[in-house]
């Protein structure tokens, strides 16, 4: 596996991976994505409850991958992108 390459540029720009800019505050709609791991629903149920208590103006929307073993199907990604401002993914049991 390739782990290092030589920089082909003039090296005046630092190499970095950009994280998506973090918001100042929660607002809008949060996608809660269950990846079909056992008890992901329990975790997300509790998280949803806490979000509604502590961030009353925020809406939540639930999504679920059909299988844990494969990446999310494109329609789910598209729906999250279109309908939601944030996503919280319940990754593992």
Partner 1 sequence: MHPPTKFSLLDADGQEMQFPPEGPVLLALVKEDCDTCNLTLPLLEAVHRDTDDGLDVWVAVQKRDDIPVLKDRHDLTMPLLDDDALDLSYETDIDTVPTLFLYDEEQNCTLQTFGFDKHEWREIASESMTLAGRPGSETSIDWESLPEQRPGCGARNYEPGVYERLQALKSGDLLSRLVDLASSDDIHEFMYDQGYTDGFPVVPPTRERVWKMLQGTTRDPQDEVAIVPPNLAPITVEKVAINAVMAGAKPEYMPAIIALVETACTESFNIHGVLATTMGATPVGIFNGPIRDRIGMNYLHGALGSGNRANAAIGRALRLCARNVGGSVPGGTDRATQGGPHRLTMNFAENEDASPWDSLAVEYGFEPTDDVATLMAMSGGPATIADERSRDGRGMAGTLAASMSCMQDPKSPMVDTLVVLSPDHAGIFGRSGWSKDDVRECIMEETAIPLKDRLRSDQAGAGLPPSVVERFGGEQALDLPVPKFQDKSNIILVVAGSSAAKFSTILGGWAGGVYSTPTSARIGPGGALEIRGRSGADMDKRRSGGKDLGAFEPNIRRP
Residue 69 backbone dihedrals phi, psi, to 5 degrees: -85, -10
Q: Which stretch binds partner 1 (CB under 8 A): 11-19, 36-44, 49-57, 74-82?
A: 11-19
Closer to partner 1 by CB, 3 or 74: give it: 3
Distance CA 15, CA 26 (A): 30
> Can you tell me which of 8, 38, 56, 75 binds partner 1, judged by CB under 8 A?
8
> Is 37 strand, coil or helix?
coil
**Is the Cβ–Cβ distance between 58 and 28 less than 8 Å?**
yes
Single out the segment in contact with partner 1 by CB under 8 A; choices: 4-12, 29-37, 56-64, 73-81.
4-12
Distance CA 35, CA 28 (A): 22
Under rule CB under 8 A, residue 4 binds partner 1: yes
Residues 12-51 that bind partner 1 (CB under 8 A): 12, 15, 17
Q: Is 5 in the site for partner 1 (CB under 8 A)?
A: yes
């Amino acid at each position: 596996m390739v782990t290092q390459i030589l920089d082909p540029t003039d090296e005046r720009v630092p190499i970095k991976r950009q994280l998506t800019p973090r918001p100042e505050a929660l607002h809008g709609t949060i996608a809660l994505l269950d990846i079909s791991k056992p008890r992901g629903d329990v975790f997300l149920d509790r998280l949803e409850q806490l979000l509604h208590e502590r961030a009353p103006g925020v809406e939540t929307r639930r999504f679920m991958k059909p299988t844990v073993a494969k990446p999310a199907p494109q329609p789910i990604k598209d729906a999250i992108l279109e309908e939601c401002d944030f996503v919280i993914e319940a990754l593992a049991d």
